[in-house]
A = this chain, B = another copy of it.
Amino acid sequence: MTGSHLSMGEGKEFDAIRTLLAQWGPRATGIGDDAAVLDLPPDERLVVSTDACVEGVHFRREWLTTAEIGERAASAALSDLAAMAATPVGLLLAIALPDDLDDDLADLARGVGAAAASARCPIVGGNLTRAATLSLTITVLGTAVAPIGRDGARAGDLVFVTGRMGGPAAALRAWLAGKEPSRADRARFVAPTPRLDEARWLAQRGASAMIDISDGLLADAAHLARASGVSLVLEFARLPCVAGVEPRDAATSGEEYELLVALPNDAVPDPEAFLRTFGVPLTAVGRVVAASATAVQVEDADEQGARGHDHLA
């Protein structure tokens, strides 16, 4: 079932699928049946997540090109596999397409294809439907011998983040104020990098818990703390921020798609080796303590507790 596609007949829907396949080339496999068929590596566990990106909720069309909308949605979905230290094995793309965007379908596909290519992830299926507003709902499948959950942090562990925080929030602030964000901030919002290789590197070195930063560092730290039954103590002064952003803003910047990771005290990885390998910093930002009423304490700030982006607020 993999490697080639089924023959398809006439009709607008099949024409649209052919438009997608033309963009994806060999990146797409086995398209055209009722469902995709995959063979997983033996002795690995299946990791699966679904993620939606909705116009007017997660982005505005005037901020991003159509290709960027596709790339960003796929990268955000793939980031959930990174958060589990899984290796991608398949992506399914459900597109809800307003009719004024019919001519943009190839661009949308190109963006999704770029993210899938970066992650070395085959595109194995999807769905295409009409809708009043554009949305992409992307399901990603991966495998791992030992997936890393957000529930394994233990008191005494140290807490690290990958990359630098604050770019996506800075870009959003600029757009909402009617300004154009800096090139660097815009890139952080538009083209996040799922930290797939970084996650496996950290897993190999004994990571006890991991989460990707989608709701903001403080909020996601609280998710990890609650799930693990511990509390986290963070130090704002240690937070790696992009240029021009204060730690306070960086800590509530959502959709970073960096990793927050706990590692046992005796398994601290070498940040120099991480930087050399991946070109982004790995920074110790706090520690895990026994559970208290406050999931996340910030040692050097007035702020207490966790706040972040709530997708239903």
Shortest Cβ distance from residue A297 to the other chain B in the assembled complex, whole angstroms: 14
Cα distance, A37 to B145, chains bound together (Å)? 11
How many chain A residues touch B (Cβ–Cβ < 8 Å)? 76
Quick one: given A12-B313, A139-B139, are A127 and B34 in contact (CB under 8 Å)?
no
Contact A133 B133 (CB under 8 A): yes
Cα distance, A54 to B166, chains bound together (Å)? 35
Q: Which residue of B lies closest to A150 (CB)?
A: B33
Residues from chain B with a CB closer than 8 A to the CB of A7 are 151, 226-227, 229
Residue in B34, B48, B97, B128 whose beta carbon sits within 8 Å of that of A38 in the complex: B48
Quick one: given A47-B35, A49-B34, A137-B94, are A312 and B229 in contact (CB under 8 Å)?
no
Residues from chain B with a CB closer than 8 A to the CB of A6 are 149-151, 226-227
Contact B227 A149 (CB under 8 A): no
Cα distance, A227 to B114, chains bound together (Å)? 28
Cα distance, A295 to B37, chains bound together (Å)? 25
Report copies per complex: 2
**A106: CB under 8 A from chain B?**
no
Residue in B58, B80, B132, B229 whose beta carbon sits within 8 Å of that of A133 in the complex: B132
Contact A49 B36 (CB under 8 A): yes
- A83-91, A239-247, A263-271, A277-285: which one contacts chain B? A83-91
Contact A38 B42 (CB under 8 A): no
Contact A52 B129 (CB under 8 A): yes
Contact B129 A57 (CB under 8 A): yes
**A45: CB under 8 A from chain B?**
yes
Contact B141 A48 (CB under 8 A): yes
Cα distance, A283 to B309, chains bound together (Å)? 54
Cα distance, A42 to B135, chains bound together (Å)? 36
Shortest Cβ distance from residue A174 to the other chain B in the assembled complex, whole angstroms: 23
**A117: CB under 8 A from chain B?**
no
**A205: CB under 8 A from chain B?**
no
Residues from chain B with a CB closer than 8 A to the CB of A84 are 33-35, 37
| 6 nearest A-B residue pairs (beta carbon) | A35-B49, A34-B83, A137-B137, A6-B227, A12-B312, A50-B92
Supplied contacts A48-B124, A92-B139, A130-B312, 19 more A-B pairs, CB within 8 Å:
A1-B149, A7-B229, A8-B226, A11-B312, A13-B313, A33-B84, A34-B211, A35-B49, A37-B46, A39-B45, A40-B40, A42-B42, A48-B90, A50-B93, A51-B94, A52-B94, A97-B312, A132-B133, A139-B139
